[in-house]
Amino acid sequence: MNELLLLSALNGLVIGSFYALMALGLSLIINLTKVINFAHGGFLAVSAYLAYSMSPYVGFWGALLIAPILTAVVGLMIESVAIRPLYGRDPLYSLLLTFGLAYVLQDAAQFIWGAQSLPFRIPQWLAAPVSNSYFFVTGYRVLMIVVMVVAVGILFSTLYHTRLGIRIRAGTLDLDMVAASGVNIRILRNLNFGIGVYLAGVAGVLAAGVIGLQPAMGESIIMPSFVAIIVGGIGSLIGTVIGGLLIGVAAGIVGMFFPSAAELVIYLMMVIVLLFRPRGLFGQKEILL
């Protein structure tokens, strides 16, 4: 029973790592630009397919490094062309745009790589267990958690110890004041959007090694990522990470014993948090529904 619980918690922690990375990118974009980016799952799929295409040439590690960067470049271009003109308008416009963009990215992936599922090969030694006692703890599962921790650490170091990060944090509080101080907020928004998409790209490459590749692979992660933001609290990046890990572990444990309720428990947690703490666990302001 103990090993079963450990397996369930580990599976949940791995899933929660995906949610945390995706939710962090979403939260960055929402906090600064107020854009609810439904295309985030599409960027995840694009990064996974790019990694699949380049891995025969640069290997798994090269693909893990390069694919998210290329995906972020795609995000920068899309933000400049399609999303930037909608800043300052009703948020509904950007929501509808990104909702449609999600299907554009999905159909583009299907057109280029096909509708069938594709396997993404990982190094054989990563697929092996790290312990004879706990055979279900593979190197790849450990890698996914380590990458999440490193990515979160680099992001927070950037936000608190670089000029760009400090400007992004200031912009989430008062973007007009940041603009009045001489900062080019067009570039600031663009780079912030790119960082958010990059995090989705990292999650996409890692997810490909677990669930394989399919054009709609981001759909199963995008909604729980929004739930992670709500549970953790809008405006709190630390809360977003904790929210993602919490719902992942809860879904993993419940799914082991009641598979049909694995997704239900995620939304049940959101309802409970909204009932008793509408601002989320670490939120700075209440969530208005």
Q: What pLDDT does residue 288 have? A: 41
Q: What pLDDT does residue 287 have? A: 46
Q: What pLDDT does residue 45 have? A: 93
- Along the chain (289 residues), what's the average pLDDT of each consecutive run of 10 residues? 72 86 92 89 94 93 95 95 88 90 92 89 82 73 89 92 91 87 91 94 90 87 90 88 91 82 88 88 61
Task: Give whole-number Cα distances, 88 to 32, 265, 280, in Å.
Answer: 12, 36, 26
Q: What pLDDT does residue 106 have? A: 92
Report the distance separating Cα 17 and Cα 248, nearest Å.
Answer: 8
| Alpha helices in the chain, H assignment, sequence order | 2-33, 40-78, 91-113, 124-127, 139-161, 163-173, 175-180, 185-211, 219-232, 237-257, 262-276
Report the distance separating Cα 75 and Cα 50, nearest Å.
Answer: 14
- pTM here is 0.91
Report the distance separating Cα 272 and Cα 118, nearest Å.
Answer: 38
- Scan for tokens 């049940």, then name that residue: 268
Q: What pLDDT does residue 279 have? A: 85
Report the distance separating Cα 54 and Cα 66, nearest Å.
Answer: 9
* Residue type, position 32, single letter: L
Q: What pLDDT does residue 289 have? A: 39
Domain residue ranges in the chain: 25-217
Q: Give the angle subtended at the CA of 73 by the CAs of 97 and 159, to the nearest 5°.
A: 90
Q: And the tokens for 130?
A: 């790290």
Q: What pLDDT does residue 68 have? A: 95
Report the distance separating Cα 280 and Cα 289, nearest Å.
Answer: 13
